[in-house]
Amino acid sequence: MAGNYGAIAEGFFQGVGFLTSKGKAGVSKDGYLKPNACFSMASARLRALKRIANRLRFRRGPDDVWVEFKNLSSEMKRAILNEVNSQVRWESFGPNISRTSIQYGDFEAAYLSRGVA
């Protein structure tokens, strides 16, 4: 049984460029709901934010002082994603799909509040 929810997080990051979560979180690379979408809107939103966090970490490179997302514990990752999720504004733009525009500061604030930046 497939889920019926998707989310897109995207934004422009200084020194990195434009990043999008399309292709994950229940949404195709073209921006349409996948047949095997997420089971809840909450899980879709967190999956979209995780995609951005991982892509941002990868693109920023090893010289950045930001702690790599992959090196954090599962609990810390969830806490950071939940905090970012509570700060951004999600908008519905289609049946069961929501979108948010995100900035580096959204992740930076969550990292700093958790003492990992």
Residue 27 has a pLDDT of 93
pTM, 2 dp: 0.80
DSSP string covering the chain: --B-BEEEEEEEETTTEEEE-TTSTTB-TTS-B-TTBBSSHHHHHHHHHHHHHHHHHHHH-TTSSSPPGGGS-HHHHHHHHHHHHHHS--EEEETTEEEEE--HHHHHHHHHHTT--
Residue 8 has a pLDDT of 94
What are the residue ranges in the chain where pLDDT is below 50? 1
Residue 82 has a pLDDT of 86
Q: Which of 51, 49, 36, 50 is nearest to 5 (CA)?
A: 36
Tens of pLDDT along 43-70? 999 999 988 887 876 666 555 555 667 7
Residue 75 has a pLDDT of 87
